[in-house]
Chain A
């Protein structure tokens, strides 16, 4: 098929042409978005932030290896650094601009004057930012693993590998969920980054630490619950302290997994619907 819906000869046409197939638009926007994101300075900046756990791991190898087991060190690294800070920074940095880059750059005009489904455009861009956000964190975790085990083969037992793989999967899954949420902010608000920071470090940062059932209304609670349900992360210093002070709500890891999965589906759906109905006045 060379072209579809175009008639070469001018004149009234009884039927209006249809849209370009959803899958084709999705693939094109996804590929173009990945290329665009790779070329942006944002990737370098966030890449530098992701070096932080590598420095901590290097310090552990240099000074703390004898006092803290690899398994416990990694649990604490995940709990304190990745889940408290990095997944939010990465999800904010990639999620908020999902659509906002096109709006701010005013190139959205070109997409909105094409015979394409806006949902396909949104899905293509969202998948691209989720892939990049996840890849960046995965790379950081792989290098951390390398720093822990290279020249230190004693830590490589089955239990450590199981904990490592589990934590990596949970971090990546959480990042995908959070990116979906922050993408909605980019669609809906003019200053999405401000709202994103308020949400990430206000609602999630504060409410998730409030005793009782209220904390179950945060994503942070369910993300942590996945790790706690799987791993005895109470050994982690921060969590031990928190557990002593607060009354943790009892929710199984499977329920938390289901909550996060449903949240992801809802975020993608809401973002797609909002984007397809939103009108951007570009001047």
Chain B
């Protein structure tokens, strides 16, 4: 990892009796880092602490060696895209960006110029002069992203930035985030969707119950997932016949027929299994109505990590 731009030291936050984040120690360097966790794991609290929105109960956040809670001027280096769907509804997209840029200390012409750049980068230029109250969910996410990057910060915190985006917007925004990482920005993106983060970065922090459960390369995590058997539910027209045809596959550990039209396959090599499955289905001739992976999600990943730690 590169030299840390951002460092959390024993970062802890309580909400009364409830622990939001507990003794988090981590260092984040330039590039894109994914913060992964289930809903309620403490991602947003950690982001708010890192972005100076909340004060830590214990510990501290250092930005380029400076304690964030002692220097409000450090907000010049931070761009924060909050998770809540909150915008200045009566302003146009451009007015909102210019207003927030001017609060970053830029003069009016420079704010206009930077606002236009941010609108172009987030593909919002066409809607720039419409009130944000009329924006679609995806456009609202984009204008939040635009205000976070418009002042060219060193560090960006993007809290669930793809919520509500259509596939095209999602792709464009992912491209933008990757580009920001390549430009040398320190970008932290939170998500509860593993593959979403995987498309932008290989460096991740996993958070659960307010604690960092694992950090490092996503491939290591992926390998860990693959050491555990996966279950795939298949809806088809003849479950018994398909079970007989799938059992001989070397990737298949077992098959359970749940109902005449439904079976569950257990595999220890899911990627290989999915690669060979179409051929197996064609050979079998059984019509398939749908697939559902039962455990290839973040919840299972956390369960495996906890098991392995145990």
CA distance A113 to B48 in the complex (A): 10
Given contacts A16-B66, A281-B54, whether A114 and B154 have CB atoms under 8 Å apart is: no
For chain A, give the interface size range.
35 or more
Give chain A nearest CB distance to B88 CB in angstroms.
6
Chain A residues whose CB sits within 8 angstroms of the CB of B82 once the complex forms? 106, 109, 282
CA distance A150 to B154 in the complex (A): 64
Chain B residues whose CB sits within 8 angstroms of the CB of A111 once the complex forms? 103
Given contacts A39-B90, A114-B104, whether A282 and B53 have CB atoms under 8 Å apart is: yes
Chain B residues whose CB sits within 8 angstroms of the CB of A113 once the complex forms? 51-53, 75, 78, 80
Judge whether A2 is part of the interface by a CB distance below 8 angstroms: yes
Which residues of B from 22 to 61 have beta carbons under 8 Å from A? 30, 44, 51-55
Closest to A10 in B: B184
CA distance A18 to B65 in the complex (A): 16
Chain B binder among A28-36, A141-149, A200-208, A243-251: A28-36
Q: Are A109 and B86 in touch, CB under 8 angstroms? A: yes
Which residues of A from 1 to 42 have beta carbons under 8 Å from B? 1-6, 10, 12-13, 16-20, 24-25, 28-29, 32, 35-36, 39-40
Given contacts A32-B99, A114-B100, whether A107 and B88 have CB atoms under 8 Å apart is: yes
Q: Are A16 and B71 in touch, CB under 8 angstroms? A: yes
Q: Are A16 and B52 in touch, CB under 8 angstroms? A: no
Judge whether A263 is part of the interface by a CB distance below 8 angstroms: no
Chain A residues whose CB sits within 8 angstroms of the CB of B80 once the complex forms? 109, 113
Closest to B89 in A: A105
Q: Are A115 and B99 in touch, CB under 8 angstroms? A: no
Give chain B nearest CB distance to A142 CB in angstroms.
27
Judge whether A217 is part of the interface by a CB distance below 8 angstroms: no
CA distance A111 to B82 in the complex (A): 12
CA distance A2 to B107 in the complex (A): 6
Q: Are A2 and B87 in touch, CB under 8 angstroms? A: no
Judge whether B260 is part of the interface by a CB distance below 8 angstroms: no
Judge whether A168 is part of the interface by a CB distance below 8 angstroms: no
Q: Are B100 and A35 in touch, CB under 8 angstroms? A: no
CA distance A81 to B306 in the complex (A): 69
Closest to B185 in A: A10
Q: Which of B78, B80, B82, B102 has most A Cβ within 10 Å? A: B102
Judge whether B106 is part of the interface by a CB distance below 8 angstroms: yes
Closest to B87 in A: A107
Closest to B99 in A: A32
Give chain B nearest CB distance to A11 CB in angstroms.
8
Given contacts A114-B100, A281-B54, whether A20 and B64 have CB atoms under 8 Å apart is: no
Q: Which of A25, A32, A116, A279 has most B Cβ within 10 Å? A: A32
What 10 A-B pairs have minimum CB-CB distances, sorted nearest first?
A106-B86, A16-B71, A115-B75, A20-B105, A17-B73, A114-B103, A39-B90, A113-B80, A16-B66, A17-B76
Contact of A115 among B30, B87, B105 (CB under 8 A): B105
Given contacts A2-B110, A19-B73, A115-B74, whether A25 and B103 have CB atoms under 8 Å apart is: yes
Task: A110-B147, A112-B53 are known; give 7 further A-B pairs, CB within 8 A.
Answer: A2-B107, A16-B66, A18-B73, A107-B86, A115-B72, A115-B104, A282-B82
Give chain B nearest CB distance to A33 CB in angstroms.
11
Contact of B77 among A17, A28, A116 (CB under 8 A): A17
Closest to B157 in A: A113
Given contacts A32-B99, A36-B88, A282-B53, whether A13 and B64 have CB atoms under 8 Å apart is: yes
Contact of B55 among A16, A39, A279, A282 (CB under 8 A): A279
Give chain A nearest CB distance to B119 CB in angstroms.
17
Given contacts A2-B106, A10-B30, A10-B154, whether A115 and B86 have CB atoms under 8 Å apart is: no
Given contacts A2-B107, A281-B54, A282-B82, whether A16 and B90 have CB atoms under 8 Å apart is: no
**What are some 18 contacts across the A-B interface (CB < 8 A)?**
A1-B107, A2-B106, A5-B76, A6-B105, A6-B152, A10-B184, A12-B64, A12-B65, A17-B73, A17-B77, A106-B82, A111-B103, A112-B52, A113-B53, A115-B104, A279-B55, A282-B84, A283-B84
